[in-house]
Every structure is written in structure tokens, then in C-alpha cells.
Amino acid sequence: MSTTTPPSNTRAGGTDAPGNPDVSGVDLELVDVLKRYPGQKKPAVDGLSLHIPAGEIVMFVGPSGCGKTTSLKMINRLIEPTSGTISIGGEDVRGRNVDQLRRHVGYVIQGGSLFPHLTVAQNISVVPRLLKWDSRRTSERVDELLELVSLDPAKYRDRYPRELSGGQQQRVGVARGLAADPPVILMDEPFGAVDPITRQRLQDELLSIQEELRKTIVCVTHDIDEAVKLGDRILILQEGAQIAQYDTPEAILAAPANAFVEDFVGAGSTLKQLSLSRVSDVELVHPTTATVGERVAEVRARAEANGDQAVVVLDERRRPVDWMWLRELAAADTVRPVRDDVLTLDRRATLNDALDMMLTSTHGAAIVTGRRDEYLGVVNFTAVTGHIQATEQQLAEGRAADATAGRDDAWEGGGA
């Protein structure tokens, strides 16, 4: 039986040939994979065939009990298939020693599932230790990974999981999954246990990490918006892990394959398109900025000249640290931030995320950052609604063009 290969991908640079040096992931192939649990009449996974291209994120979604987790866990043999073949980088997983296989396939689950009696550094070093890395290499790797998941190594290395927030535990879980630089990472509901804002940040971080590392990532989620945001492709499964559709998020939203998919994703409405559009797709505005330590009188003059009531305060590395109203600045001669928890959006965040954040912000807009948290500008409602209108117009024009083409086809067909 041939495996399902989706059409070429638009987001992850699908033009990359295998072996592209930027891609550290490898291909995954499932051929006619079946899993029947003892005592069950119907197989949980009934003949799943699937090709997952190297360096891409594929999201598994589908109703509860359809076989997502079973399919995922068969890839690293946490569950053994009843029949069928799974290969990683062209190599049949059954030919590999199970321990060795699991050390080369990262695995991240909900909540991070850290060992409570080990420190953050020890948790991240579990696989490097099994691989017998020396202590210097291991500790350098731990610090590198903590930086990658935005945790200050000096502050967090020696903490215990109970001394971390849910989002921080999840970050350490991701770092642990990446520790030995595996080409494939499996994730099962990785961000299911954290609040919406933290989840959005973790998703943005994953996209940023993936931009750099280009692993092959397979991720199970219940959240279709998460699938649309993170996935280069989405696999929508029905009971028995039957493929309802396997395609890019854009293609699935534009043309659901059947009524099941349509129900599952919710009709491809304009609002869903907000999960496809990134903050980097809209034009940012540029309110007055100030640098910590700058003279307030100068900042105030600039803001008044621009007609701004508030200024975005940046640190010496141009990272936003506060968004202060002019009246708050008046308390001192030089600019001093009054909060330490300014909310920012990564440029990869979706417009859905942006709307969520704007609704909770007293400024009715959101600060956008790029590489290394550097300030880029601000996204506001006008930019988002402008984008929705433009998208709606494009969709309407597309539908009108399709209808015209349909009539032309019918005409040609009729004349033949």
C-alpha cells in the first residue's frame, strides 16, 4: 500500500530537498500500521499510512479516542504496532534497540513530566548522561538549551520543578526533549496544561526554535487553532486513525475534504483565517519610544509632538520593558519602568493571539518583538481589522473567479 504524501508545503520551505544542510530532521514513514489492543474488537489504529517530510511540523488532530496518541507512541515504540512498518530516516524502527531509539527521538508531554527530585539541569541531562557525555559537554548543553527556551541558566539551572511555574516546567520539558539533538521530536499535547497567554508564548518559542533547528516534529493536539498555527501540515484523523485529510492548514481551511473535516475545523470562516495570519503580515505602528534612564522632559516633548499619551520603554538592548502613560513618567526625572511584566507578542504570533492580547491590554494594542526580543513596533485593532477586510475581499474575489471558471468549464464541456 502506498503512503499518503501531502502536496508540497508552503511554510517550512518545502522546496528543500532531503539532505539540505539547514534541516536537521529526517523523514518519517508509516506504512499500513495497525494497532489492536488486547481484548479490543476494533483496532485503535487501522492501517495508517503516512509520509512526514524531514524538517516539518505535522500536527495530529481528531476526536477523542481516534488513535492520535497510539499513532504517536508507535513511532518511538512506547507502543508496539501489531503490524505494519515505521521507519525513521529510512530505517525500520524494529531494527533498532528500543533504548537507543528513544534516545534519538525526543519526547515531550503535557506539563513537562519532570522528575520532581532532580534539578532542572539534572532533568535536562537525563539523555546526555545515558549517552555518556562528559560533564562539561553536558553542562554546556544544559545552559545552551535553557537559553533557547528563554530561561536564564544562572537563575533556573539548580531549581527543582516545584520551584517553577507551569509554563517554565513546560519549557524545561521542551529543553529535555531537545537535549541530545534528536532529529525527530514527538509531542503529546505539550501546551495543554498552561494558561492561554503562556501557551501562546510557548507556541511562539517552539516556532522560533524550529526556525533555527528544522527538526521533524510530530505533535498531538486537541486544539485546531494550535494545529493551524504550528503545523506545516495537519493530519485530521477519524476513528481507527483513518485519515480524513492531510494537508497544509491553508488548504484544509480553504477546502475541507468532507463534512467531517468541515465540522471539525469549523467552517473556513474569515475568523479562522486569523489563525493563519501572523503579526508580521500586518503593518505595525510606531508610537514614541523611550530608553531606560533617558530624561523625562525630552521623552515627554517627543510624545507630545507625536500626539501620544503613552511611550514604549526599551532597555539598552532595545527590548521592551514597560509601556508607560505620560502621567506615570512624571514621578521621576529620568525614565524608570514601573512594571516588570510587560506583555509582548512575538512577530510569529497569529492575529488571533494579537486580538486576545489587545483585549487584555489597557492600551488596546500589543507590543511586537522580533529576534532576541528586540522591539519592532505595535499592532493595533485598525491593522487587524484592515487585514480581515483585505482577506475577506481576497476570498470573495477568489470565489467569484472560481465561479466564472466553473461556468467557462461547463461551457467548454457543453460545446465539446
Ligand X SMILES: Nc1ncnc2c1ncn2[C@@H]1O[C@H](COP(=O)(O)OP(=O)(O)OP(=O)(O)O)[C@@H](O)[C@H]1O
Report the alpha-carbon distance of residue 183 to residue 294 in Å, rounded: 47
Query: Which residue in the set 7, 18, 65, 386 belongs to the binding site for ligand X (CB under 6 A)?
Result: 65
DSSP string, 69-131: HHHHHHHTTSS--SEEEEEETTEEGGGS-HHHHHHSEEEEETT----TTS-HHHHHTHHHHHT
The CA R_g of the chain, rounded to the nearest whole Å, is 24
State how far the alpha carbon of 106 is from the alpha carbons of 27, 102, 303, in Å: 15, 7, 49
Q: How many residues bind ligand X (CB under 6 A)?
A: 11
Asked if 178 interacts with ligand X (CB under 6 A), we say: no
Considering the complex, state which of residue 78 and residue 342 has its C-beta at the smaller distance from ligand X: 78
The CB-of-33 to ligand X minimum distance in angstroms stands at 12
Query: Which residue in the set 25, 55, 67, 231 belongs to the binding site for ligand X (CB under 6 A)?
Result: 67
Query: Which residue in the set 3, 4, 24, 69 belongs to the binding site for ligand X (CB under 6 A)?
Result: 69
Report the alpha-carbon distance of residue 28 to residue 86 in Å, rounded: 7
Report the alpha-carbon distance of residue 260 to residue 245 in Å, rounded: 10
Q: How many CB atoms lie within 10 A of CB 64?
A: 6
Query: Which residue in the set 2, 64, 97, 362 belongs to the binding site for ligand X (CB under 6 A)?
Result: 64
- Kindly give, in sequence order, each residue whose CB lies less than 8 Å from that of residue 101, ignoring residues fewer than 6 positions away: 76, 77, 88, 93
The CB-of-70 to ligand X minimum distance in angstroms stands at 3
Task: State which amino acid sits at residue 381.
Answer: F
Asked if 411 interacts with ligand X (CB under 6 A), we say: no
The CB-of-72 to ligand X minimum distance in angstroms stands at 8
The CB-of-37 to ligand X minimum distance in angstroms stands at 3
DSSP conformational letter for 12: T
> Per DSSP, what are the bridge partners of residue 312?
289, 323
Please identify, among the stretches 6-14, 57-65, 306-314, 341-349, the one whose residues bind ligand X according to the rule CB under 6 A: 57-65
The CB-of-178 to ligand X minimum distance in angstroms stands at 23
Considering the complex, state which of residue 15 and residue 40 has its C-beta at the smaller distance from ligand X: 40
Please identify, among the stretches 60-68, 164-172, 321-329, 393-401, the one whose residues bind ligand X according to the rule CB under 6 A: 60-68
23 three-class SS:
coil
The CB-of-27 to ligand X minimum distance in angstroms stands at 23
The CB-of-71 to ligand X minimum distance in angstroms stands at 7
Asked if 199 interacts with ligand X (CB under 6 A), we say: no
Phi, psi at 49, each rounded to 5°: -125, 130
Q: How many CB atoms lie within 10 A of CB 180?
A: 19
Asked if 186 interacts with ligand X (CB under 6 A), we say: no
For residues 17 to 46, the per-residue mask of contacts with ligand X, x marking binding by CB under 6 A and - elsewhere, is: --------------------x--x---x--
Asked if 2 interacts with ligand X (CB under 6 A), we say: no
For residues 138 to 177, the per-residue mask of contacts with ligand X, x marking binding by CB under 6 A and - elsewhere, is: ----------------------------------------
The CB-of-407 to ligand X minimum distance in angstroms stands at 43
DSSP conformational letter for 259: H
Considering the complex, state which of residue 113 and residue 150 has its C-beta at the smaller distance from ligand X: 113
Q: Are strands 91-92 and 344-346 parallel, antiparallel or unpaired?
A: unpaired
3-state per-residue secondary structure call for 130-176:
HCCCCHHHHHHHHHHHHHHCCCCHHHHCCCCHHHCCHHHHHHHHHHH
Query: Which residue in the set 70, 169, 200, 248 belongs to the binding site for ligand X (CB under 6 A)?
Result: 70
Considering the complex, state which of residue 103 and residue 199 has its C-beta at the smaller distance from ligand X: 199
Give the side-chain half-sphere CA count within 13 A for 331: 9
The CB-of-47 to ligand X minimum distance in angstroms stands at 14
The CB-of-244 to ligand X minimum distance in angstroms stands at 13
Query: Which residue in the set 53, 55, 59, 68 belongs to the binding site for ligand X (CB under 6 A)?
Result: 68
Residues of this chain that interact with ligand X (CB under 6 A) are 37, 40, 44, 62, 64-70
